[in-house]
């Protein structure tokens, strides 16, 4: 993606001219920088046109660093990547600082891990447990209650020998689910799984949607039912801090969106500190119309997950002033 359209929009937002360059490094760019006056703004060309960017090449990083006195990283969404523009460049400047957005992300996501007001609840949804094993294991050391929904819930139900019909399941992760359930019990963490379901025989243009307590053998569960919504709402209201990542059903299809929307509204109206991980969760709260009521909505899907997993993010670790 070329940066020309971004330059045009930035110029509108700033109400002043924005200089542009045909590259992000090189003699031409150096000349433009040398001719800049106080208050001038220069937008460099996309660093991704250089393979050295994703390779985190030291020489390329040095060339970027030569263009500035102070480096500010405000791109939390890429902080989990050790690239030249997010990690490498910081090694070659005297001061590398966090921007306002980065600072906010560190504050609220860090609060979940370090100093949350209790009781703390994590709501984890989405399709597969395989992408959230590290997240779940780390949360077991932090939370008092854990709600598991979405497609991944049925792998946990399978681990409890419950009927899941033709619902999504990762058979190779059933033992992992059992292990997580056992760890939660040992650590005194309450895990909540769906107790009733919205099912259909197919997700596209479903004609046989119904609510059930037990999933029939020929049906697929696509959303949580009314009893589950009521139970989850009680847990939400009893919490003080909530971290949410992942929808509780196939919310993109209106027939299966009620559960996710209901819980989004419950979180928004609870008055609790609410931190929403990136990705589909953001789309879900937009659909529920409660974006403005959430305490913090993370701009980074993968970055926010890795942060909550307890991993060190290269783009943050490289900063001299966070």
Query: Other C-beta atoms within 10 Å of 187: how many?
Result: 11
Q: What is the pLDDT of residues 96-108, one digit of tens each?
A: 999 999 999 999 9
In terms of domains, do 68 and 148 share one? no
CATH number of the CATH domain containing 280:
3.40.50.1260
In terms of domains, do 167 and 70 share one? no
Q: What is the DSSP letter of 51?
A: H
Strands 220-224 and 190-192: unpaired
Q: Looking at the 3D structure of the chain, how many domains does it have? A: 2
Query: Other C-beta atoms within 10 Å of 4: how many?
Result: 10
Least confident among 81-90, 168-177, 202-211, 224-233: 202-211
In terms of domains, do 20 and 58 share one? yes
* Domain limit, last residue, from 99, 128, 158: 99
Using CA atoms, how far apart are residues 244 and 168, in angstroms rounded to an integer?
Answer: 21
Query: Other C-beta atoms within 10 Å of 104: how many?
Result: 16
In terms of domains, do 75 and 216 share one? no
Enumerate the β-bridge partners of residue 48: none
Q: What is the pLDDT of residues 119-168, one digit of tens each?
A: 999 999 999 899 899 999 999 999 999 999 999 999 999 999 999 999 99
């Amino acid at each position: 993606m070329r940066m020309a359209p971004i330059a045009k929009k930035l110029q509108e937002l700033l109400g002043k001219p924005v200089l542009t360059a045909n590259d992000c490094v090189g003699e031409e760019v150096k000349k433009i920088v040398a001719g800049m006056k106080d208050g001038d703004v220069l937008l460099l060309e996309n660093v991704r046109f250089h393979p050295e960017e994703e390779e985190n090449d030291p020489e390329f990083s040095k060339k970027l660093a030569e263009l500035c006195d102070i480096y500010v990283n405000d791109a939390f969404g890429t902080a989990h990547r050790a690239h030249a523009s997010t990690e490498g460049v910081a090694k070659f400047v005297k001061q590398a600082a966090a921007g306002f957005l980065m600072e906010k992300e560190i504050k609220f996501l860090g609060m979940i891990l370090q100093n949350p007001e209790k009781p703390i609840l994590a709501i984890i949804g989405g399709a597969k447990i395989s992408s959230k094993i590290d997240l779940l294991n780390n949360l077991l050391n932090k939370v008092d209650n854990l709600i598991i929904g979405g497609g991944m819930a049925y792998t946990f139900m399978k681990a409890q020998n419950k009927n899941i019909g033709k619902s999504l399941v990762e058979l190779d992760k059933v033992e992992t689910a059992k292990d997580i359930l056992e760890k939660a019990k040992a650590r005194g963490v309450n895990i909540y799984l769906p107790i009733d379901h919205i099912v259909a025989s197919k997700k596209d243009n479903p004609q046989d949607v119904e609510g059930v307590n037990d999933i029939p053998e020929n049906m697929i569960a696509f959303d949580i039912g009314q009893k589950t919504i009521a139970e989850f709402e009680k847990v939400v209201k009893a919490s003080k801090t909530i971290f949410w990542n992942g929808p509780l059903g196939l919310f993109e299809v209106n027939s299966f969106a009620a559960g996710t929307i209901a819980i989004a509204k419950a979180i928004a109206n609870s008055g609790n500190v609410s931190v929403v991980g990136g990705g589909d969760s953001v789309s879900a709260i937009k659909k529920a119309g409660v974006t403005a009521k959430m305490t913090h909505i993370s701009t980074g899907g993968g970055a926010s997950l890795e942060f909550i997993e307890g991993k060190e993010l290269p783009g943050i670790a490289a900063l001299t002033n966070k």
